[in-house]
Amino acid sequence: MTTSAQTLPLIKDPQRLENRLAEIPPEPGVYLMRDGSDRIIYVGKSRKLRSRVRSYFRESQKLTERIATMVRQVTEIEFIVTDTEAEALALEANLIKQHLPYFNVLLKDDKKYPYVCITWSEDYPRIYITRKRQLSNQKDKYYGPYTDSHLLREILRLCKQIFPLRQRPQPLFKDRPCLNFDLGRCPGVCQSLISPEEYRKIVQKVAMVFQGRSSELIDILTEQMHKQAELLNFEAAARFRDQINGLKSLSAEQKVSLPDDTVSRDAIALAADAQHACIQLFQIRAGKLVGRLAFVAEVPTLSSPSKEGGLMGAILQRVLEEHYQTAEAVEIPTEILVQYELPEPEILADVLTQRKGRKVTILAPQRQTKAELIEMVERNAQYELQRMQKLSDRNQQAMEDLAAILDLPELPHRIEGYDISHIQGANAVASQVVFIDGLPAKQHYRHYKIKNPTVTVGHSDDFASLAEVIRRRFRKYADAPQLQRTGNSDWPDLIMIDGGKGQLSSVVAVLQEMNLLEDLRVISLAKKREEIFLPGESKPLTTDAEQPGVQLLRRLRDEAHRFAVSFHRQQRSDKLRRSRLDEIPGLGHHRQKQLLGHFRSVDYIRQATPTQLAEVPGIGPRLAQEIYDYFHPS
């Protein structure tokens, strides 16, 4: 739909507002608020849409400053009716992720907190730690985010000692398992010595550890140990005994002092400043703290954290909805303790009750033991906020120092760094890394293969390579002068070249040729003495290598170097792997990828029979025989 820029806000057009409110049904669903630019600025849910939306426009309704500001901008209201409140909750979460409305609480994807992923979509599920939660398959499951990455890695390492799990991402040998199988640490996944069904049973036991169900798992293993002992199968009983002992040592966390140790509960609290809220969620099972998760929410409109109780409750509700959306029924506790009253606790409690099959209660305790537990969680959130503030202050100081060094009119929001990597001209590549507000923004990283025909084995030219990369990076701006440069999120405030005066001069020349030099600020950082060179200056700036602004440039330079070297190694490895395959007639690049994806290495391809080669997609019997004959000349 298209909304005219002259459309009045609904609050200033009572007749149109009343007509629109009358159209909204009293059913569960989701509502979307749009402003005069047709942007979605808020997404909400309700068990009764009409009553909820109408409450925003009642004069008697006391709204927070944030919501009142939002209401004054609303020019259109849309709604989507759902069959159940659970569907409304899930739809709201999806719409918030899709549209990122300004007045909604937005969880920040903070890469410093790791997750554990179990790939249930695969026949033999993998278990690994990651900082990127990208759900490519609905069957895969993420646990976390966890606050202590060192402890998380230790838990996963112990799990691999307690249970026989796949120890290597790729097989070490083609026709036999490695030593881990003989030691009993791996069930022989690489050679399919265990069925997918049996292996999934083992992984399900590991998943119980990350679900906070270690005590339940110990009870199951104890029962199996006794059964094996009754059958006089003492070796199997001993294995179960060792697993039980390992789990007991793993779950020996500090006991939380609560009188009803049989109740499973989660406790959530936060600490906030004017920009961010740090949230901590403690998972307590049978009186033991089995997990401590962390979240970060952006709070752009928070002016007085201590007085904005409604906003704090909205943040907690958003975190809980996001956390429990993918949780299994056994992971949902029967009691959730919250620091602030939630704005819509009934919907969340009803949905969780339906999924768990037991009543789930949400409480905001005010006194006694449970309130003390919330205070402990809040203290941990405060410590995390203080750590974030220290990092932010340090980063702010570095950007201010850099702006002062380079005499920039304002702090550099987007800084790009470039570097070249090769071995005597072979496999020459370049990297482009991006720092946003002084922090790495890896989603904007780019790498380039150098196409200059003069850059060959034995003949390198870093000056020409950098000029090529800069030309390719900013070509669209030179080709389209009408393209707005200022205010563009893709336009850098500062460009840093890894090198000295020569590298900088080559980049300056190409920017002059493209008529972009006046609009771009470009510098170079020489490695030897960490000297900063400016265009047209023969001497470097007077700086200290240890001052904050120079350290920021060094971090950018080191990241550009790392990214370039890793891409160069990848290109070199691919070339070495394909060097022999390139000599086989009829075997193009795509079929080479198919072969290497199937056999993993050229050595395995050499050992394969024509029949095995023909099993690869795209490799027929005729080409398979040619490949075999190439490696086995008569």
Highest mean pLDDT among 193-207, 209-223, 281-295: 193-207
Query: In 3-state terms, what secondary structure has residue 393?
Result: helix
- Residue 4 is predicted with a pLDDT of 42
Share of the chain above pLDDT 70, in %: 89
C-beta of residue 49 within 8 angstroms of C-beta of residue 28: yes
Neighbouring C-beta atoms of residue 110, cutoff 10 Å: 15
pLDDT tens digit string along 207-243?
A: 887 777 777 777 878 888 888 888 888 887 887 887 7
Please state, in angstroms and rounded to a whole number, the distance separating the CA atoms of residues 379 and 626.
69
E strands present in 119-254: 127-130, 141-143
Q: CA-CA distance, 445 to 430, in Å (whole number)? A: 11
- In the block, which residue shows the tokens 């849910």? 45
- What is the pLDDT, as a whole number, of residue 2? 40
Res. 106 pLDDT band, cuts 50 70 90: confident
pTM: 0.61
What is the average per-residue pLDDT within 588-616?
Answer: 83
The predicted structure's pLDDT at residue 305: 46
Identify the band that residue 66 occupies on the pLDDT scale cut at 50, 70 and 90.
confident
Q: Please write the tens of the pLDDT for every residue from 415-433.
A: 999 988 877 657 788 889 9
CA proximity to 297, closest of 325, 283, 316, 321: 316
How far is residue 532's CA from residue 113's CA, in Å, rounded to a whole number? Answer: 34
**Domains defined along the chain, listed by start:** 10-104 (3.40.1440.10), 120-144+154-252 (no CATH), 264-300+308-384 (3.30.420), 408-570 (3.30.420.340), 584-631 (1.10.150.20)
Residues near 600 by beta carbon (within 8 Å), at least 6 away in sequence: 170, 171, 174
